[in-house]
Amino acid sequence: MKGGKLIIFSAPSGSGKTTIVRHLLAQPELNLAFSVSATSRPRRGKEKNKEHYYFMSVSEFKNHIKNDDFLEWEEVYRDNFYGTLKSEVERLWAEGKNVIFDIDVVGGLRIKKKFPDQTLAVFVKPPSVDELKIRLKKRSTESEDKINMRIAKASVELATAPQFDKIIKNYDLDVALEEAVDLVASFIAEDKE
């Protein structure tokens, strides 16, 4: 696989990475396309297949693993697999796009390791774990148990921040959005190898 640039945004749930990624996608000068991840988890709310995720059964997901169809994958929670299909990235590169990911820290670091020179890995740091819990509760999309699982995972994820190329502190969303645009624009402008 060889193509355009890869831009990874990783963070604990509720840090604001999805909001930042959506803002970046709305900047036409960045020439970005979103990499839709695959998952074995059930759909939530109004999520659509091939738009929000490639939804598949656990057995379908495992078949893709067996066939080496993923750039990276992980079993995030029991029988909840997430991964990036190689075909998705190749499709976006074929369109001449730079690919942006809204992905968990483990997956983000795996992609960075495979493509060190063409990847910008950005960690979005929340104001605090307490603030994360407030944000997750406001979403009203998950049970208290799921929220507590995400909060427990957040402290582990926060420890990985130094392994990323850049850290954006999302204490003020407008500042974080501006910083993200500047970072990505600078990275894309670098000479391609």
Which run of H or E residues covers position 123?
strand 119-125
**Angle between the N-to-C axes of helices 144-158 and 129-139, in degrees from 0 to 180, rounded to the nearest 10:** 140
Nearest to 13 by CA among 165, 151, 177, 159: 151
Residue 135 · residue 18 · CB < 8 Å = no
Starting at the edge strand found earlier in the chain, the sheet holding 54-55 runs 54-55, 38-39, 80-85, 70-77
For domain 6-189, give the CATH number.
Answer: 3.40.50.300
Residue 15 to residue 23: CA distance in whole angstroms? 14
pLDDT tens digits for 145-192? 887 877 878 888 888 999 999 999 998 999 999 999 999 999 999 864
pLDDT tens digits for 15-39? 889 999 999 999 999 999 999 999 9
Spacing of C-alpha 150 from chain mean position = 15
Domains of the chain, residue spans: 6-189
pTM (2 d.p.): 0.85
**What is the per-residue pLDDT for 70?**
96
Residue 127 · residue 170 · CB < 8 Å = yes
**Which residues are within 8 A (CB) of 4 and not within 5 positions of it... i.e. 6 or more apart?**
92, 93, 96, 97, 98, 99, 118
**What is the per-residue pLDDT for 149?**
77
